[in-house]
């Protein structure tokens, strides 16, 4: 293994031949890895793929694969809108906001379903190009969830069994965070 110090960070790699993988090449590779992580975040969070909608284990494999493909298609369509917007604005595509592009596309589809002229598309590209995401080196964000989950227990048994238990025993008392017993 090889350790390479780059800008206050230490990268550990199995690419131990400096002639084949220079420091600058490793730095570029690390940056591209960061873009991949951002893209995965866009697919999961911005496009709403954090939880899948399949309801039974039998559906899980087939539905999960279909949902994954639909989200990847949606991601690529938004990126396809960003590229001509970036060309029009004479900037790199990565400098335009993915979320803004998605929101512009959604509003544009709601407003103009019947007419898609070249002028309409140019206006859409101009709108997408308005919101930029600047490079923010050294940015630190807390790894925490801002919204707290609901204080309800997880459903750990089949729904029909849980209903039968409630019919027989009633709902359990509510657990409040301030009066939990140890």
pLDDT tens, 64-110?
Answer: 788 888 889 999 999 999 999 999 999 999 899 999 999 999 988 88
Distance, in Å, from the CA atom of 50 to the CA atom of 78, rounded to the nearest integer, reads: 18
Distances (CA, A) of 66 to 37, 63, 76, 78, 145: 22, 5, 15, 19, 28
Whole-model pTM?
0.63
Q: Show me where the domains of the chain are located.
A: 1-50, 61-134
CA distance 99 to 105: 10
| DSSP-based three-state secondary structure for 84 | helix
Whether 102 and 137 have beta carbons less than 8 Å apart is answered as no
Phi, psi of 116 (to 5 degrees): -130, 75
Each residue of 111-141: pLDDT tens digit? 865 566 777 888 889 999 998 887 766 666 6
């Amino acid at each position: 293994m090889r350790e390479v110090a780059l800008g206050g960070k230490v990268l550990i790699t199995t690419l131990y031949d400096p002639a084949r993988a220079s420091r600058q090449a490793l730095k570029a590779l690390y940056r591209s890895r960061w873009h991949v992580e951002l893209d995965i975040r866009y697919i999961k969070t911005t496009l709403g793929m954090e939880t899948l909608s399949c309801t039974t284990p039998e559906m899980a494999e087939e539905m999960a694969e279909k949902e994954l493909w639909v989200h990847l298609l949606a991601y690529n369509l938004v990126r396809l809108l960003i590229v001509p917007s970036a060309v029009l604005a004479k900037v790199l595509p990565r400098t335009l906001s993915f979320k803004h592009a998605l929101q512009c596309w959604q509003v544009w589809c709601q407003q103009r379903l019947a007419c898609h002229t070249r002028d309409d598309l140019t206006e859409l590209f101009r709108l997408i190009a308005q919101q930029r995401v600047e490079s923010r080196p050294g940015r630190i964000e807390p790894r925490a969830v801002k919204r707290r989950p609901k204080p309800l227990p997880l459903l750990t048994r089949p729904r029909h069994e849980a209903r039968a238990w409630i019919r027989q025993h009633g709902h359990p008392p509510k657990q409040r965070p301030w009066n939990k017993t140890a």
